[in-house]
């Protein structure tokens, strides 16, 4: 059999299995070595191909599709530094548990490490940052090797999906000529008439004995709290709320827990803790005797410090993905069990509590904090906090809010409160980078509509190239750029007290007018004048298509002052509440 026939049969088997494994979307960056894989993929009727020139953006775009769809997405590039550009998104996928199938074309063995063009060392290119690496065999037409090609694909997809989900990397050594023989029966696979491997994944569940022991130990607890960090399980919200009701525990809901917005009961949701857990009197009042934590670590530093300060109490970490999510070294129990399953089972077995005293305190303090913070609504000047307060009102039901790292996610945490609008909140909180946010959001926008992206100017700049996807694939997205001309978060960090090198090293004003870039990518751009103008434009563009960018200019120093003033007001208000309620027992 010829080289071409072997190449074709081997890759067609792989691609057929890929489609069968649940992969619908493939993001391809053009290149020469990857030609045969790309051509075979283009022939498959069930695959959506997205062509994205910049591999860094391409990988983040795929990450966004995978996050939003909860399905594995494949990325394909040629040999060389192209593949290295995937690295940031791969690391983000690994830590935030998103299934990606990374397919890289490579030079064959005889062209490696011998000075051949565009040849780098792609073996274990991503080190520990993928769940599985396979150096594929060179394409081969023999039946065993066709079966091998299919097996690796099925197994790779299963590995990527298996919780904790993550990226896998398959490296394909390909020899010239790189042209497959595209014929009508490409995906008919006589070598395996019995069909595909079907994969069924189990979930981690505890034995009844272990569950009963945990349940018994929880029954005695009167001051328990539940902390929900970023988690992406759609059954989780209902399950954890039921558990909390049963135990009468407050639920501290991180913005990415998907508990801040939805049809589930909001009564037990605590959403202003990032503000009120800054105060000593509050923290003393709310000292818990047990903490049950689900999901990744929450964004809030105040909450982290609170949990750290309570390291003498029982802290239970539940993780269906067998990680070790305990940066505070505060865990007393590490429970490896599916989070929804755990919540449901414990709810069924535990005696309902009728002591709501501790919960009441959380609810009261939370309520007053939100009341005071809502004063931000009266601020006339454009500000970062008020934006998120308004978005809870303005966003349409069922929309997706993608939020950038650094300050936006923190301001969201502080000012975006519980509502029933089923707004899905997304972010890249695996490694918390400012890179790739535009592309990840645009990937998500292919799945979830309408999608709103809020991010800072440095983050927007970092992935401007990502906008190309919106132009080429005609995506609809509303982007709100908070432009404080530099790195706003540094004003909140200790270096702000050292003015000598501050602006140069940390403030880093770029002085860019993004209007130009948005024009280049065929979007519309509006520089927001004031809040009335913002609301007016926001409502106008809801039905418009394409890229819509609203820029809100803010001032880093003023923003810092606004935050500090609000924190002071809350502190005064809450101290009063605690005193008058005689909480200071």
Rounded least distance, CB 39 to its own copies, Å: 6
Greatest CA separation found in the chain?
87
Rounded least distance, CB 510 to its own copies, Å: 7
User: Residues 423-452: x/- map of binding to its own copies (CB under 8 A)?
Assistant: ------x-xxx-xx----------------
Question: What does the alpha-carbon distance between residue 35 and residue 123 come to, in Å, rounded to a whole number?
Answer: 20
Q: Which CB, 420 or 513, lies closer to its own copies?
A: 513
Q: Which CB, 262 or 320, lies closer to its own copies?
A: 320
Q: Which of 458, 475, 477, 480 binds its own copies (CB under 8 A)?
A: 458
Residue 323: both structure tokens together = 């990680």
* Contact range with its own copies by CB under 8 A, out of 233-241, 280-288, 368-376, 511-519: 511-519
List 252's β-bridge partners, or say none. Answer: 227, 270
Q: Under rule CB under 8 A, which residues in 182-221 are in contact with its own copies?
A: 182
Kindly provide the b/e burial profile for residues 238-275, where b requires at least 16 CB atoms within 10 angstroms of the residue's own CB.
bbbbbbbbbbbbbbbbbbbbbbbbbebbbebbbbbbbb
Q: Under rule CB under 8 A, which residues in 220-279 are in contact with its own copies?
A: none
* Contact range with its own copies by CB under 8 A, out of 131-139, 212-220, 255-263, 487-495: 487-495
Kindly provide the b/e burial profile for residues 204-234, where b requires at least 16 CB atoms within 10 angstroms of the residue's own CB.
bebeeeebeebbeebeebbbbbbbbbbbbbe
Q: Is 500 in the site for its own copies (CB under 8 A)?
A: yes
Rounded least distance, CB 14 to its own copies, Å: 17
Q: Is 39 in the site for its own copies (CB under 8 A)?
A: yes
What DSSP state is assigned to residue 335?
E
Q: In degrees rounded to 5, what are phi and psi of residue 112?
A: -100, 135
Question: What does the alpha-carbon distance between residue 118 and residue 106 come to, in Å, rounded to a whole number?
Answer: 9
3-state secondary structure of 140: coil
Q: Which CB, 225 or 469, lies closer to its own copies?
A: 469
Helix (H) or strand (E) holding 390: helix 384-394
Q: What is the dihedral of CA 561, 563, 568, 572, to 10 degrees?
A: 150
Rounded least distance, CB 20 to its own copies, Å: 22
Q: Is 82 in the site for its own copies (CB under 8 A)?
A: yes
Q: Which of 44, 87, 374, 375 binds its own copies (CB under 8 A)?
A: 87
Q: Which CB, 364 or 432, lies closer to its own copies?
A: 432
What DSSP state is assigned to residue 569?
H
Q: Under rule CB under 8 A, which residues in 43-72 are in contact with its own copies?
A: 49, 51, 53-56
Taking CA atoms, 316 is separated from 237, 294, 298, in Å, by 18, 9, 15
Q: Under rule CB under 8 A, which residues in 101-120 are in contact with its own copies?
A: 110-111, 113-120
* Contact range with its own copies by CB under 8 A, out of 284-292, 396-404, 456-464, 558-566: 456-464
Residue 475: both structure tokens together = 């995506």
Rounded least distance, CB 426 to its own copies, Å: 17
* Contact range with its own copies by CB under 8 A, out of 188-196, 255-263, 291-299, 372-380: 291-299
What DSSP state is assigned to residue 232?
-
* Contact range with its own copies by CB under 8 A, out of 195-203, 218-226, 508-516, 564-572: 508-516
Q: Under rule CB under 8 A, which residues in 316-335 are in contact with its own copies?
A: 323-327, 329
User: Residues 525-544: x/- map of binding to its own copies (CB under 8 A)?
Assistant: --------------------
Q: Is 337 in the site for its own copies (CB under 8 A)?
A: no
Q: Is 163 in the site for its own copies (CB under 8 A)?
A: no
Question: Which are the contacts of 441, defined by CB distance < 8 A and separation ≥ 6?
Answer: 64, 402, 426, 451, 453, 477, 479
User: Residues 118-157: x/- map of binding to its own copies (CB under 8 A)?
Assistant: xxxx--xx-xxx----------------------------
Residue 248: both structure tokens together = 């009468």
Rounded least distance, CB 111 to its own copies, Å: 5
Cβ distance 517 to 467 under 8 Å? yes
Cβ distance 298 to 229 under 8 Å? yes
Residue 78: both structure tokens together = 């040629």
Q: Which CB, 74 or 570, lies closer to its own copies?
A: 74
Question: What does the alpha-carbon distance between residue 177 and residue 338 come to, in Å, rounded to a whole number?
Answer: 48
Count of helix runs (H) and strand runs (E) in the chain: 22, 18
Q: Which of 134, 215, 512, 560 binds its own copies (CB under 8 A)?
A: 512
Rounded least distance, CB 188 to its own copies, Å: 19
Question: What does the alpha-carbon distance between residue 317 and residue 163 come to, in Å, rounded to a whole number?
Answer: 16
Q: Which CB, 75 or 111, lies closer to its own copies?
A: 111
Alpha helices in 162-253 (DSSP H): 208-219, 236-247
Cβ distance 486 to 460 under 8 Å? no
Number of residues binding to its own copies, judged by CB under 8 A: 92
Cβ distance 440 to 59 under 8 Å? no
3-state secondary structure of 341: helix
Q: Which CB, 196 or 473, lies closer to its own copies?
A: 473
Q: Under rule CB under 8 A, which residues in 338-397 are in contact with its own copies?
A: none
Rounded least distance, CB 465 to its own copies, Å: 6
Rounded least distance, CB 413 to its own copies, Å: 13
User: Residues 463-482: x/- map of binding to its own copies (CB under 8 A)?
Assistant: -xx--x--xx----------
Q: Which CB, 252 or 578, lies closer to its own copies?
A: 252
Rounded least distance, CB 114 to its own copies, Å: 4
Rounded least distance, CB 120 to its own copies, Å: 5
Among 355, 376, 224, 369, CA closest to 282 = 369
* Contact range with its own copies by CB under 8 A, out of 200-208, 211-219, 445-453, 518-526: 518-526
Q: Is 581 in the site for its own copies (CB under 8 A)?
A: no
Q: Which of 15, 27, 95, 277 binds its own copies (CB under 8 A)?
A: 95
* Contact range with its own copies by CB under 8 A, out of 204-212, 243-251, 350-358, 454-462: 454-462
Question: What does the alpha-carbon distance between residue 344 and residue 236 come to, in Å, rounded to a whole number?
Answer: 9
Question: What does the alpha-carbon distance between residue 571 and residue 279 come to, in Å, rounded to a whole number?
Answer: 7
| List of E strands, 149-218 | 167-173
Residue 39: both structure tokens together = 């051509």
């Amino acid at each position: 059999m010829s080289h071409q026939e072997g190449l074709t049969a081997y890759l067609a088997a792989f691609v057929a299995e890929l489609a069968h494994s649940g992969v619908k979307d493939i993001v391809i960056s053009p290149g020469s070595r990857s030609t045969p894989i790309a051509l075979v993929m283009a022939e498959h009727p069930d695959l959506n191909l997205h062509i994205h020139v910049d591999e860094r953006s391409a990988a983040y775009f795929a990450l966004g599709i995978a996050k939003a769809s909860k399905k594995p997405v494949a990325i394909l590039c040629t040999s060389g530094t192209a593949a290295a550009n995937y690295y940031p998104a791969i690391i983000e996928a690994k830590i935030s548990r998103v299934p990606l199938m990374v397919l890289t074309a490579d030079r064959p063995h005889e062209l490696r490490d011998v000075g051949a063009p565009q040849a780098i060392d792609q073996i274990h290119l991503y080190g520990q940052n993928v769940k599985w690496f396979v150096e594929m065999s060179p394409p081969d037409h023999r039946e065993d090797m066709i079966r091998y090609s299919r097996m690796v694909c099925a197994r790779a997809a299963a590995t990527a999906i298996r919780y904790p989900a993550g990226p896998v990397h398959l490296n394909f050594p390909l020899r010239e000529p790189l042209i497959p023989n595209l014929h009508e029966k490409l995906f008919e696979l006589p070598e395996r008439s019995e069909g595909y491997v079907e994969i069924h994944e189990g979930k981690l569940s505890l034995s009844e004995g272990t569950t009963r022991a945990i349940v018994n130990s929880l029954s005695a607890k009167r001051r328990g709290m539940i902390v929900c960090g970023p988690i992406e399980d759609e059954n989780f919200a209902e399950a954890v709320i039921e558990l909390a009701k049963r135990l009468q525990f407050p639920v501290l809901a991180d913005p990415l827990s998907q508990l801040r917005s939805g049809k589930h009961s909001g009564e037990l949701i605590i959403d202003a803790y990032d503000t009120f857990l800054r105060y000593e009197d509050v923290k003393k009042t709310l000292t818990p005797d047990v903490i049950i934590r689900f999901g990744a670590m929450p964004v809030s530093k105040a909450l982290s410090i609170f949990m750290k300060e309570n390291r003498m109490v029982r802290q239970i970490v539940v993780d269906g993905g067998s990680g070790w999510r305990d940066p505070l070294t505060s865990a007393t129990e590490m429970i490896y069990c599916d989070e929804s399953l755990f919540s449901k089972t414990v709810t069924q077995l535990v005696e309902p509590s009728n002591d709501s005293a501790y919960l009441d305190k959380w609810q009261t303090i939370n309520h007053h904090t939100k009341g005071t913070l809502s004063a931000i609504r009266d601020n006339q000047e454009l500000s970062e906090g008020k934006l998120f307060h308004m978005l809870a009102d303005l966003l349409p039901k069922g929309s997706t809010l993608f939020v950038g790292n650094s300050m936006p996610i923190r301001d969201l945490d502080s000012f975006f409160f519980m509502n029933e609008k089923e707004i899905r909140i997304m972010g890249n909180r695996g490694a918390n980078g400012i890179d790739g946010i535009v592309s990840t959001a645009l990937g998500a926008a292919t799945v979830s509509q309408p999608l709103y992206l809020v991010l800072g100017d440095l983050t927007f700049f970092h992935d401007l190239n990502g906008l190309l996807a919106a132009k080429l694939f005609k995506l609809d997205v509303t982007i709100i750029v908070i432009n404080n001309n530099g790195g706003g978060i540094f004003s909140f960090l200790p270096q702000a007290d050292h003015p000598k090198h501050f602006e140069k090293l940390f403030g880093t004003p770029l002085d860019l007018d993004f209007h130009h870039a948005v024009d280049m990518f065929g979007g519309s751009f509006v520089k927001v004048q004031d809040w009335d103008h913002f609301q007016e434009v926001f409502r106008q563009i809801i039905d418009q298509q394409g890229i819509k960018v609203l820029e809100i200019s803010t001032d880093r120093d003023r923003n810092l002052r606004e935050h500090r003033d609000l924190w002071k007001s809350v502190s005064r208000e809450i101290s009063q509440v605690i005193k008058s309620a005689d909480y200071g027992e």
